[in-house]
Chains A and B, each alone.
Chain A
Amino acid sequence: MAARTFTIDGKLVTAEENATVLDAATEAGIDIPTLCHLEGVYDVGACRLCLVEVTGIGKLLPACTTRVAEGMEIKTDSERLRKYRRMTIELLFAERNHVCAVCVANSHCELQALACRLGMDHVRYDYTFPRWSVDNTHTLFGMDHNRCILCTRCVRVCWHIEGAGTKNVSGRGSHSHIISDLNQSWGSSETCTRCGKCVMGCPTGALFAKGVTVSEMERDRTKLEFIVTAREKKQWIA
């Protein structure tokens, strides 16, 4: 496979031709903030937190879905990028009801951790306080739409790692939400294998194992990694 040489933050980097900017940066030890990206499933560029600047291109590009190219000059940190990342994360908080103090994922949440990293000390937009429900019909898991950031990790994991195809996105704009099967209660889904992979992949408190309370929802991603390694490298390493 052909290699591409380019720079990230002034550092000369080489990567395979079909690598994404995010892959290349990670490989080079440069940490770009991400939320919808999950190792093992394809990227969709949903959260826009990984935006980077590429010289000669006016708009900002998501690192997770942009392929590297010869001679590309990539910037992962600048005043402009910090401004947009901060706006994006604040809008995520304003869009649903993220009440960290009473959330199952408090202290183990990727959204919360990223807000800290990006220096969010308050949200400058008015909170929308939408009305969303909690689906507690499944025997093992629950879904709290109040905490969902629509990253679609659960959908991708359910379709492409488990192969069940239970999770989907329904609606448009601010009405978009995650559904099970034909927009029915999760408990009544006939396709869900109860594998729990969606719960393992979720970055926030939106998907949780039943029985956990505030701050107790810690995720174990090793099972996902195990399956992905087995599939991609044909190695069954526990």
Chain B
Amino acid sequence: MDRLKFATVWLGGCAGCHMSFMDLDEFLIDIADHIELVYSPVIDVKEYPHGVDVCLIEGAVCNEDNLEILHKIRRRTRVLVAFGDCAITGNVPAIRNQLGLKNGESVLQRAYLEGAQSNPGIPREPGIVPALLPRVMPVQEAVHIEYYLPGCPPPADRIKAVLAQLLAGTEPRLTGAQLKFG
């Protein structure tokens, strides 16, 4: 059997979901023969490749960069899995949405001007520092998502359950306590 072309991506999240992925421990060795890791923050690949089978998406869509790569990922991937609460609900990154439509500006002002002890100034580097979107979005608000893997972070056994089903070629299905957010 061809190895599954597998990717993970880190949008607006704390990397906790990826840490939990590392918690898969020896299961990582078990799946190593069945997947080919083609893109991920844990390997050094700059450009998201074409023809990816499965991509786990950690984090909410917070800035222009997140949105752009998410659209690219959708075009180039067969199955997208929203990975963790930030991707599925917006979670903590989306709390700024409560501050209204100008929050993209006001949070930067608070952090870089009002909160600054020295050198106050909002970082603006077009092409390097991506602009914040006016509203943080869960990934399914931006693109179609096939499967959801909730948790903050999703515990390793939950990730394992989904990966095992995907590798077996069945529809991943989580039920009961495996669906707990938070």
* Chain A residues engaging chain B, CB cutoff 8 angstroms: 93, 97, 99-103, 106-107, 112, 115-117, 119-123, 126-127, 129-132, 146, 215
Contact = CB atoms under 8 A, between A and B. Distances in A.
Contacts of A126: 141
Contacts of A116: 176-180
B138 interface: yes
Contact of A121 (B90, B91, B92, B150): B150
B120 to A, nearest CB: 27
Interface stretch (B3-11, B40-48, B94-102): B94-102
* Residue of B88, B98, B147 most packed against chain A (CB within 10 A): B98
A122 B140 contact: yes
Interface of B: 82, 85, 88-92, 94-95, 97-100, 135, 138, 140-141, 145, 147-148, 150, 152, 174-182
B12 to A, nearest CB: 14
A127 B181 contact: no
Given A116-B176, A120-B179, A131-B98, A99 B148 contact: no
A103 B85 CA distance: 13
Contacts of B150: 121-122
Top 3 nearest A-B pairs by Cβ distance? A100-B182, A101-B152, A129-B97
Contact of A102 (B92, B147, B179): B92
Nearest to A125: B141
A97 B88 CA distance: 14
B135 to A, nearest CB: 8
Nearest to A100: B182
A102 B90 CA distance: 13
A215 B92 CA distance: 16
Given A93-B89, A101-B92, A116-B178, 17 more contacts: A99-B91, A100-B180, A101-B182, A107-B182, A116-B180, A117-B176, A120-B179, A121-B148, A122-B88, A122-B89, A122-B145, A127-B90, A127-B97, A129-B90, A131-B98, A131-B100, A146-B98
Nearest to B180: A116
A116 B181 CA distance: 9
Contact of B98 (A101, A117, A123, A129): A129
Contacts of A129: 90, 94, 97-98, 135
B79 to A, nearest CB: 15
Contacts of A146: 98
B172 to A, nearest CB: 10
A44 to B, nearest CB: 27
Contacts of B97: 127, 129
A121 B179 contact: yes
B152 A100 contact: yes
Nearest to A146: B98
A127 B86 CA distance: 13
B148 to A, nearest CB: 4
Contacts of A100: 85, 152, 180-182
